[in-house]
Each structure stands twice: as C-alpha cells, then as structure tokens.
Copies of this chain bind each other. A is one copy, B any other.
Amino acid sequence: MNGIYDQGLARNEANYQPLTPLTFLERAATVYPEQTAIIYGDLHVNYSTFYKRCRQLSSALAKIGISRGDTVSVMLANTPAMLEVHYAVPMCGGVLHALNTRLDASIIAFQVRHAESRVLITDTEFADTISEVLAQQDLPLLVIDYIDRSLDTVGDMLGFCEYENFLGGGDSNYRWIMPADEWDAISVNYTSGTTGNPKGVVYHHRGASLLAQGNVVTTSIPKHAVYLWTLPMFHCNGWCFPWTLSVVTGTHICIREVRTEVIWTAIKNHSVTHLCGAPIVMSIILSADESIKHKLTKKIEFFTAAAPPSESVLTDMDKSGFNVTHLYGLTEVYGPAVANDWHLNWNELTLARQASLKARQGVRYHALEGLEVFDVETMEPVPRDGTTIGEVMLRGNVVMKGYLKNKLASEEAFRGGWFHSGDLAVIHPDGYIQLKDRSKDIIISGGENISSIEIEEVLQKHPDVSSAAVVAVADIKWGETPFAYVELKADSVISENDMIDWCQQNLAHYKVPKYFVFEAIHKTSTGKVQKFELRKRASRLIR
C-alpha cells in the first residue's frame, strides 16, 4: 500500500502506453521522412516510404485475416522485405516467425506446423526447400512469393500471390494497431534444437522495445548511423537491430551474401559505421586482398558473439580499422543481453592482456535485471574468483516470454526465478563473466569437472593447429574422458604423439585427451561447432 500516492492516480489513456518498437518507425518517418532507411544495391528507400510500405503490407495481411496472435512465417534473406515484415506483421497484431534459411524441409515443416502459421512469405531462391515443406504440410498455409530482383534467376513460384502485388493490395494509410498489452507476442524464434524438437522462443513487445533501446546505449550507436547487415535477421530478429535503427533513424545496408568484396564495397560506398556478426564474418573481412581494403578514416564498430575473438583476430581487425566488442546472449534473451563493456584504461595494457579481457562475455545490459553464475546444486552464486565454474543465469525484461506450447520446458528453464542458460562460466573478481562450456559439454572425469574449452584453448595455441573441438566420451574407468577433434593448418605434418606431448606440457594430466581425430571441423552459419554431432560420432569411433 502506497497510501496517498495510490489514490486517484491510476493508469489512463493519457499517461500509459504499451511499450513497443513499432512507434519508433512511426516517429522516424514523421521526423525524418527523407532520411534513407534502406539501401539494397541500387535501391534506396527513405523512412517515409519504408513506413508506408510497412503499413501497406500490414493492411494486406489484415485483409487476408491476420489478426492478434496469428503467426506469419518468413523464409527471407537479408533483403528489404525482411525489414518490412519486422514491422508489418506486428502492426496488424501478428507474430513474426523468421525461418533460418539454411534449415532443411523437415525442420521447417515442424516449426510452421508448431507455430500454427497462417501465412508464409518465401524468397523464390528457397523454392526447392519450401516446395518440399509444402508437400509435407497438411495445414492451410497461404504462400506469398518474394522475388529478389537483384538476382539473375527467379526460382519457382509456389504461392497464390507475388509479394509486390500482395503489398500493392494494401492501404498505405492503414491505421495499424498498437499491442493490446506490452506483454503481447511480437515474434517467435526457434532454437536450433540440439536435442529433441526445436523450441519456439516467444518475444514480446516490451522486451523488443527495451532491447532495441538497450542496443543504442550499449553500442553508443549515434543518430543516422549506417548499419551493415552481416548478421542474419532470422537470428534472434537480428539481435533487435531492425528496430534499433528506427530509434536512431539510421540506414540499413542490406546485403544478400556475406562475401569479402560485397562487405568492403558497402563500407566504401556507404560509409558504414556499425555491423554485427559471428567470428566468421571477421575472417571474411580480414581475408580481403589489400587492394580491396580501403583506408578507413573513422573506426568502424563491430559487435560479435558466439565465440571469443582471438588476440590475432583482434589485432588484425584493429589494423584494418575496426573496433571489436564482444557480446553474449542466447535466443531466449533476444540475442545479446550481456556485453563486454570496455574500460578506457584497458587500452594501455598489452595486446595479449587486452585480448584476454575481450574474451570475457562481460556484464548485463541495462534492461537485464540480473546476471549471475550459480552453483546449480545450491542456487548460490559461485565465488568471484575467475575459476569456480557454475551455470550462467539471467533474469529481467529481455528474457523471453517462454517456450511456445511447451509449459514444461518453460518451467524447467525458469526454475528458481532465473532463466537457466545451460552455459557454464566463471565470474571474475570485477563481476565480468567468462564462458567455460555448455553444461552438456562439460566432461566429468573421475569426479572432476573438465572444461572442454580449456583443452581447446591449449590445442589452439599449438602453432600447427587452426581449430579444435573437444567433447566427452564414455570411459569405463573414469566415467567420461576428453575426445579431441583437431584441424591442422595446411602442410602441417604433426603426429598424434606430438599433440599428446603438447597437452602434457600445458594441461593437468587428467585433462589430456585420450583420443585424437585430425580433420576439418564443421561450423554452423553462426560460427558454432555442433558439439552434439561430434559427441555422437566420437562415441561411434571409440566402439
């Protein structure tokens, strides 16, 4: 009871509105109608047109019956249409379901059926996969084909209507609807599902609004920034940057393919200021010939997640004109919710020390109330000693609404009032967290926890090794034991015994892998090693 401060002071239409990122676009289009919103090849779209097209598309969706809580699936590359659906779908109350375009038909079919999608907007480039999906699909699904006119060839048309024609049937002055409640869903993003079926992570308008603004604070992205789309927008709604750019009335530079020359050309032609991406994007940038690289007059801000950037990559990125910031998050927290907030006096440290500080995942976004590393048994925070491993847990307004139609999984994920990330980490004395492993990737050998990341780091320091991945395999004596996949640099002639010697010099004896396989290590589009695949194969190999 707050006494006098609760009397006659209730919410009303004048002093309360649901938080939503949709009003950011309305504002941008009103205040800066002529400002360029999207550049895609020769296409330039200003904010006035962008907003009109979003309303038009939203109106067209409403006309075919999309209303509050209806799912609209999209199979789109980083094209202008992908930006339009981020506004148009929720503007009529719909929930956006952006598909990972690299998934196979069976998983797509599962997701579309599970989300009870009513509409699918699909780029004709993906017609082969989608026609397989439609063959499996038994739900009534209206398909709209998007033709990317920058491509030389057009794939098969599968739907009842082409995107531009469909959009043309809508009203560009459509009075779009605010969410009835800021807790209403805005999108659903499926996790990759390392075990069992993919889970549908539901985002709401409140969280999307707060993370979109949180990105402004965390990345210090200024008014009219120029943002290059090297991060797939199907990945956690592009970490909410489709909405963040409207906050600052910035310019989206869309590119379809994340290739060296495309990136450098965009940087040169459009004076890019910010971009995000997995570590692989940095490799792609750095692989450019010196003839392609341009002297950058101003540092470009690069935000990366998924794996800590190495010292050599950081040094090379710095030389090439990029400042790299390490972020961390999961699908369940709208993309990044943890940032390696840099201290100015760290710039005075050696590059090696800077790299080790940058390898840490960091501290909470403002919109995240809590970030802790807990002992999973006791649910007590682990000591801040940089060595005791616990599970990363998060709580706050940018934690998902829950898993769609999966109450059990939601309850499991939220038990104890915290979201359980499944990632294992230490917390340093200064409060910065550092990931050590996925909880499934920890190796429990003779009762000791072994971090597979620690072993990988030792392996990767060997001058002949370009990449390494370590998993647990069953062991009669120890319960589990480490199994190492090692990818060697070209022309290396190192032997297994050399590798064992190296590990024995650099690791406690019980941490030295019992098995080694030398081969190229496959990584996903987001730069992650799929440990569950390696684990499955390892257990077959030792049989």
Contacts and interface: CB of A to CB of B under 8 A. Distances in A.
A527 interface: no
Interface in A372-417: 394-397, 399-402, 404-407, 410, 413-414, 417
A369 B17 CA distance: 7
A8 B408 CA distance: 9
Contacts of A366: 23-24, 27, 213, 247
B23 A369 contact: yes
Given A19-B397, A184-B2, A400-B15, A410 B213 contact: no
A363 B418 contact: no
A363 B31 contact: yes
Contacts of A414: 12-15
A278 interface: no
Interface stretch (A218-226, A232-240, A305-313, A465-473): A218-226
Given A2-B68, A366-B27, A397-B15, A410 B9 contact: yes
Contacts of A105: none
A160 interface: no
Interface in A1-46: 1-9, 11-17, 19, 23-24, 27, 30-32
A431 interface: yes
A107 interface: no
A369 to B, nearest CB: 4
A431 B31 contact: yes
B407 A32 contact: no
Contact of A7 (B6, B400, B405): B405
B69 A14 contact: no
A86 to B, nearest CB: 17
Secondary structure dominating the interface of A: loop
B396 A17 contact: yes
B417 A2 contact: no
Max chain B Cβ within 10 angstroms of own Cβ: one of A11, A14, A248, A363? A14
Given A341-B31, A366-B247, A419 B95 contact: no
A354 to B, nearest CB: 17
A400 B3 CA distance: 17
Contacts of A404: 4-5, 9
Contacts of A224: 344
Interface in A410-467: 410, 413-414, 417-419, 431
A66 interface: no
A27 B248 contact: no
B31 A395 contact: no
Given A15-B414, A69-B4, A364-B27, A213 B202 contact: no
Contacts of A23: 366, 369
B15 A395 contact: yes
A414 B341 CA distance: 42
A183 interface: yes
Contact of A1 (B68, B220, B396, B406): B68
A57 to B, nearest CB: 21
A217 interface: yes
A95 B397 contact: no
Contact of A9 (B30, B222, B402, B419): B402
A347 B247 CA distance: 22
A509 interface: no
Contacts of A540: none
Max chain B Cβ within 10 angstroms of own Cβ: one of A207, A401, A407, A410? A401
Given A8-B407, A369-B23, A395 B17 contact: yes
A410 B32 CA distance: 34
Contact of A2 (B69, B394, B395): B69
A391 to B, nearest CB: 14
Contacts of A115: 4
A343 interface: yes
A97 to B, nearest CB: 11
A305 to B, nearest CB: 18
Interface of A: 1-9, 11-17, 19, 23-24, 27, 30-32, 68-70, 95, 115-116, 183-185, 188, 202, 207, 213, 216-217, 220, 222-224, 247-248, 341, 343-344, 363-364, 366, 369, 394-397, 399-402, 404-407, 410, 413-414, 417-419, 431
5 contacts: A1-B69, A9-B410, A13-B418, A220-B222, A220-B223
Please give me the 4 A-B residue pairs with the lowest Cβ-Cβ distance, nearest first.
Answer: A13-B417, A2-B69, A8-B407, A5-B185
